Amino acid sequence: MLSNYYKKKLDELLAHCRANISTSKFDENLIAKAFKFSVDAHRNDKRASGEPYFSHPYEVAVILATEIPLDDVLIASALLHDVVEDTKFELKDIKAEFGNQVAEIVDGATKIDGIFENYELQQVESYKKLLLSMTSDIRVMLIKFADRLHNLRTLEFLSNPKQMRMAQETLEIYAPFAHRFGLSKVKTELEDLSFKYIDRKSYDEIAKNLKEKKRERERFIKKFIQPIKEKLQEQGLKFEVYGRAKHLYSIYKKIKTRNKNFDEIYDLFAIRIIIDSANKNDCFIAYGICSEIYLPVPERFKDYISIPKQNGYQSIHTTLVSKEGKMVEVQIRTREMHEIAEKGVAAHWKYKENTTITDKHIEDWMKWIRETLEAQSSDEMPKDLMESFKLNLYQDEIYCFTPKGDLKILPAGATALDFAFEIHTQVGMTCIGAKVDGKIVTLDTKLHSGSQVEIITSKTQAPKRDWEMFVVTHKAKSDIRKFFNIEKRKTAEAGRETWEKKVKKFKIHVNEDDLVRLTHKLKYKDLSAFYYEIGKYESVADEVINILKDKNKLHQIEYKQTLTEQVQTELFHKFIKDARASTDGIMFKNGFDNNELQGLQYSFAKCCNPIPGDEVIGFVTKTEGIKIHRKNCNNVVNLFLHHQDRILEVKWNDSGMGEFTGGIKLIGEDRAGILNELTNAISKKFKTNIKSVVINTRGSIFEGTLILSIRNLKQLNDIIETLNKQQGIFSATRLYEVDH
């Protein structure tokens, strides 16, 4: 029997289901049965917050019932999704109680068990299982969205490394997945919650700025939309129009990509016009009205109604210039388009009332996933496969056409060579160039929406090693890798034949096990790598045969290798232990305390160039002592994910004395005397040494870098602020990768 508390919770869940799920797809008894089963299964379990564990599957079910309302099977499966993973019950028990469909969804949502070489490999295998399960039933992925969203809402109860890992994973996988499924609202919350833990300082700063300017923004939006509302009413259209601030993570990305500060980003808010009509032409009427009242920015008009995005998203996007000169993004869509944009596949399900859960866009994408996984070659690294999936998830798209008018949808940043591989593998392999809108371009030329692309091929062309560096689509990368893997196997086979001839000629007798051990000592990954090296350089075979003929040389190699590995391992583990015991959150020298850390080597990472004032951490390396990174350095995220045991909590001491190197990137107008003006402004006001200046000009624009001796972050920011005020400077921003 359920207690009064749980009866109330069940009633609340059923109320959400009644409000959002069609009665034809909703069996209250199934949900009530799953609710009771889950309560009983998790009765003795607790979350990290101390709450009963059942609160988690319950909240996951509520999120689905309100944000992604599909059917009763989805809600029941959500209530049961952790039962197999965390309780005594097995999958066969779920199958016996609820049938094959629910059991398969629960199995798909259950993490991979077992022992793996490392965390990364386990994650890759879990993703592959998730992808394969999803292609059978899309509800597996919907549960994972809700599961991840609730976990992020309660992330404060986990340790810092786990917070970082989950937040980064969400930005790389789950948020783009949600975008692909058209779940705009879920994707936005996933991004903002992740951003909060990855860069709390920037998160708080943007949130504060938005809050401070809320009234000013609301007054502006009210004034902006009033004439639009009046004109739409005159046309007899039924509509809803409102303004909204962009979400925090999207503002953060704008600030980063445009190298601007908050006050310089004008399109921080958008106007949304939702037309209550089934006629999509009414959206174009509304656009015409907006364009009559305010000046539109032509290059920022996008028609996603005529050509929807691959996730089914439809809307008109335009940017209008207000009477005050501010740019405002406007989105125009029908009510059905709006619900599909917010709730994605669930809204398709609601409107189409059909028997299949997916639509054409989702089905095509899942077909791509299935074919990609099935076609994965043995030499393709799991990490490479996941990187391709991540890339495919980010759905900034471009629309290009063949000379015959066939549409090709590619990810933003795709090149002419990507387009060639999209047509056919063989076209890509023999591509030597392309014509874009009639002009001949190189293979690495990035394409833009609306371009007509004609591929130029040659029978004598073959893939080049550097192709993989600039193509972005999985198909192009995979086809290029396959070509070179085949070439590598041919070279290795030729090397094996050479080796066998050599050992036969010199009458050397060595079995395969002994040869494997020797090649391993000589730092070859495996026999295939050894044969490949011989295929490239026949002299390698002669060198190894000389070692096999000379027993003393063989013994020296084995002894030296064993001793070196043993000593390195012991010293490295001792170093980590000593460093952890000594630092305890305090670093040393050049602005760090130095009481207990005599003899420990450290240096500052060049990837992010930390200076006093930056939040920092230490990482124990194998050969370079302790590396100091900024906490929001991109490389630190990977360190948190894969090497938590080597992370040190560190901080600057109060004095922060010492000379550090700071870099500034400049873009400005190329005119006589500007460099002299800049260096004088820095030298006179800040009394700092300019270590180097590098300037490149392109037409009337210059780009350059200044490398300075600075004391701390405040001084560097003051210098940047001063430079940004100089006449002729378009932008001055911090340069993170600096040679010391």
Q: What is the pLDDT of residues 670-688, one digit of tens each?
A: 777 788 888 888 887 888 8
Pair (433, 408) in one structural domain = yes
Q: Is the pLDDT of residue 396 over 70?
A: no
CB 595 within 8 A of CB 653: no
Interatomic CA distance for residues 199 and 176, integer angstroms: 19
Q: What's the average model confidence in pLDDT over 141-149?
A: 89
Tokens matching residue 500: 């066998």
First to last CA, the chain: 70
Pair (172, 246) in one structural domain = no
Q: Is the pLDDT of residue 595 over 70?
A: no
Per-residue confidence (pLDDT) for residue 369, from 0 to 100: 61
Cα torsion 161, 164, 169, 170: sign: positive
Pair (444, 505) in one structural domain = no
pLDDT in tens, 446-463: 998 888 999 988 887 889
CB 434 within 8 A of CB 452: no
Structural domain of 512: 483-549
Lowest-pLDDT choice from 68-77, 150-159, 301-310, 375-384: 375-384
Lowest-pLDDT choice from 362-376, 507-521, 669-683: 362-376
Quote the mean pLDDT of the chain.
Answer: 78
Q: Are strands 701-710 and 690-698 parallel, antiparallel or unpaired?
A: antiparallel
pTM of the model: 0.55
650 or 641: whose pLDDT is higher?
650
User: Residue 101: what residue type?
Assistant: Q
Interatomic CA distance for residues 365 and 135, integer angstroms: 9
Q: Is the pLDDT of residue 385 over 80?
A: no
User: Residue 512: what residue type?
Assistant: E
Closest CA to 572 of 646, 498, 670: 646
- In terms of Cβ atoms closer than 10 Å to its own Cβ (0-12, 13-18, 19+), residue 401 is middle
Q: What's the average model confidence in pLDDT over 142-150?
A: 90
Cα torsion 562, 563, 564, 569: sign: positive
364 or 515: whose pLDDT is higher?
515
715 or 652: whose pLDDT is higher?
715
| CATH number where 135 lies | 1.10.3210.10
Q: Is the pLDDT of residue 239 over 50?
A: yes
CB 732 within 8 A of CB 720: yes
CA dihedral 374, 375, 378, 380 (to 10 degrees): -110
Pair (59, 190) in one structural domain = yes
Lowest-pLDDT choice from 71-85, 118-132, 427-441: 118-132
User: Residue 693: what residue type?
Assistant: V
Q: What's the average model confidence in pLDDT over 332-355?
A: 69
Pair (343, 397) in one structural domain = no
Pair (214, 311) in one structural domain = yes
Q: Are strands 602-604 and 439-441 parallel, antiparallel or unpaired?
A: unpaired
Interatomic CA distance for residues 321 and 336, integer angstroms: 28
pLDDT > 90 fraction of the chain, expressed in percent and rounded = 18
Q: Is the pLDDT of residue 558 over 60?
A: no
Question: Is residue 654 one of the residues assigned to a domain?
Answer: no
Q: Is the pLDDT of residue 262 over 60?
A: yes
- In angstroms, how far is CA 506 from the centroid of its own chain? 55
Pair (411, 497) in one structural domain = no
CB 628 within 8 A of CB 642: no
Cα torsion 130, 132, 133, 136: sign: positive
Question: Is residue 386 one of the residues assigned to a domain?
Answer: yes
**What interhelical angle do 674-686 and 713-724 show, nearest 10?**
140
- In terms of Cβ atoms closer than 10 Å to its own Cβ (0-12, 13-18, 19+), residue 335 is middle
Pair (394, 516) in one structural domain = no
Tokens matching residue 196: 């909060």
Question: Is residue 289 one of the residues assigned to a domain?
Answer: yes
Three-state DSSP class for residue 1: coil
737 or 660: whose pLDDT is higher?
660
Closest CA to 179 of 305, 354, 362: 362
Interatomic CA distance for residues 52 and 694, integer angstroms: 61
Q: What's the average model confidence in pLDDT over 269-274?
A: 88
Closest CA to 453 of 463, 461, 443, 462: 443
Interatomic CA distance for residues 393 and 386, integer angstroms: 11
Per-residue confidence (pLDDT) for residue 566, from 0 to 100: 47
pLDDT in tens, 599-639: 456 778 877 778 888 888 888 876 677 888 888 776 776 66
Q: Which of 27, 28, 86, 387 is catalytic?
A: 86
pLDDT in tens, 190-230: 999 999 998 998 899 888 888 877 888 888 888 999 999 99
What single-letter DSSP state applies at residue 114?
A: S
What single-letter DSSP state applies at residue 375?
A: T
Pair (497, 522) in one structural domain = yes
Interatomic CA distance for residues 56 and 366, integer angstroms: 28
Element (H, E) at 546: helix 539-549
Q: Which of 11, 40, 45, 85 is catalytic?
A: 85
Pair (696, 622) in one structural domain = no
Interatomic CA distance for residues 37 and 95, integer angstroms: 13
Q: Are strands 602-604 and 626-630 parallel, antiparallel or unpaired?
A: parallel
Question: Is residue 740 one of the residues assigned to a domain?
Answer: no
Question: Is residue 371 one of the residues assigned to a domain?
Answer: no
Question: Is residue 35 one of the residues assigned to a domain?
Answer: yes
| 380 is known as an active-site residue | no
Query: Looking at the DSSP assignment, which residues form a beta bridge with residue 440?
Result: 435
**Beta carbons within 8 Å of 58's beta carbon, 6+ residues apart:** 9, 13, 35, 38, 79
**Beta carbons within 8 Å of 728's beta carbon, 6+ residues apart:** 668, 669, 671, 674
| CATH number where 235 lies | 3.30.460.10
Per-residue confidence (pLDDT) for residue 298, from 0 to 100: 85
Number of domains making up the chain: 6
Q: Is the pLDDT of residue 166 over 80?
A: yes
Interatomic CA distance for residues 273 and 333, integer angstroms: 6
Tokens matching residue 400: 């290009």
User: Scanning the structure block, which residue is given the tokens 């629960």?
Assistant: 106
Three-state DSSP class for residue 148: helix
Pair (221, 140) in one structural domain = no
Q: Is the pLDDT of residue 412 over 70?
A: yes
Interatomic CA distance for residues 37 and 54, integer angstroms: 11
CA dihedral 515, 517, 518, 519 (to 10 degrees): 80
Q: What are phi and psi of 269, to 5 degrees?
A: -135, 160
DSSP-H helix ranges across 68-213:
72-80, 83-86, 91-98, 100-109, 119-136, 139-153, 160-169, 175-180, 184-198, 200-212
Question: Is residue 633 one of the residues assigned to a domain?
Answer: yes
Tokens matching residue 343: 């709730």
CB 103 within 8 A of CB 91: yes
CB 412 within 8 A of CB 397: yes
Name the strands in the sheet holding 431-436, side by side, starting at the edge strand that comes first in the sequence. 439-441, 431-436, 453-457
51 or 600: whose pLDDT is higher?
51
Query: Looking at the DSSP assignment, which residues form a beta bridge with residue 196?
Result: none
| 86 is known as an active-site residue | yes
Three-state DSSP class for residue 456: strand
- 7-32: string of b/e by CB count within 10 Å (b at 16+)? eebbeebbebbeebbeeebbeeebbb
**Beta carbons within 8 Å of 336's beta carbon, 6+ residues apart:** 278, 347, 351
What single-letter DSSP state applies at residue 171?
A: I
Interatomic CA distance for residues 46 and 66, integer angstroms: 25
Interatomic CA distance for residues 338 and 314, integer angstroms: 8
Structural domain ending residue among the three candidates 649, 683, 701: 649
Per-residue confidence (pLDDT) for residue 637, from 0 to 100: 64
Structural domain ending residue among the three candidates 431, 454, 482: 482
Interatomic CA distance for residues 669 and 40, integer angstroms: 70
Question: Is residue 621 one of the residues assigned to a domain?
Answer: yes
Pair (468, 505) in one structural domain = no
Query: Looking at the DSSP assignment, which residues form a beta bridge with residue 208?
Result: none
User: Residue 683: what residue type?
Assistant: S
User: Residue 109: what residue type?
Assistant: A
